[in-house]
Structure 1
Amino acid sequence: MHIVCLNGPNLNRLGKRQPDIYGRETLADVEKKMADLAGTLGCTVSFFQSNHEGELIDRVHRAAETNSAVIINPGGLTHTSVALRDALAEIADGPGFIEVHISNIHAREPFRHHSYLSPIAVGVIAGVGTQGYLLALRATVDRLQSTGAR
């Protein structure tokens, strides 16, 4: 069972950018924790971060080609990208994806309250810090195992 973890714009600055909102843990720290948990859960996870919408869309297409579930923190693209939503719709019709946000986007500025992705996501995890990634991984593995997907 393989799962793709995608991170959008500015998440490469995790641990440095606005630590009062996003914490001090780096993206490398999150990826290590996810890889360790994946080993325990009997799956593999690949990671990709980009500040460029098209690169993320290309990775979603690759995940669709391999029938891989996706965990995605789309960053600011959550609120702006119809193109990313359209790419993820193919995953939504197959293995599914979970949308993750480190902060509670609903408790922040009004423009952050709307997500183009949430209506087609299997689930949304927001506001529990980087722990959300681990929760998403557990939920994805549980869902795939219950449907017999590998």
Structure 2
Amino acid sequence: MKRTANAVWHGTGKDGSGTLSTQSATLANVPYSFVARFGDGKGTNPEELIAAAHAGCFSMQLSFLLTAAGFPPDELKTGAVLIMESDGGGWKIATVELTLTAKIPGISADKFQEVAAQAKAMCPVSKVLNAEVKLAATLA
């Protein structure tokens, strides 16, 4: 399986701007810039997209594992907070904090925590990140 995306950038790093597009066209020439990345400017940024991808990937992985264990979920709500830190002359993604609230009929708290931890470890986005991944999982 292959997925593609494209970025176009014009100008300097601080004053320039660009657009991001994805194969699915869900993102089609979506603006991004220094101000959107390091401030509150309009548009998206790579870290926001990674956080969204991580929340989605983890939720889907958890759903597969729960269903296989006999506990199909009613609802999984996952938030992701991506934390960047200074790294010498640049930046690095240091941590992603996943926060899950789940509605899963019939599952015990221990089994829920076990499967959630498995999903965190197995999620392809978790695997690709060179960052600490934290998980706070709560049954609703």
TM-score normalized with structure 2 length: 0.27
Larger Rg over CA atoms: 2
Larger RCO, structures 1/2 (Cα 8 Å, 6+ apart)? 1
Higher strand share: 2
In the superposition, the TM-score normalised over structure 1's length comes to 0.26
* Structure showing the higher helix proportion among its residues: 1
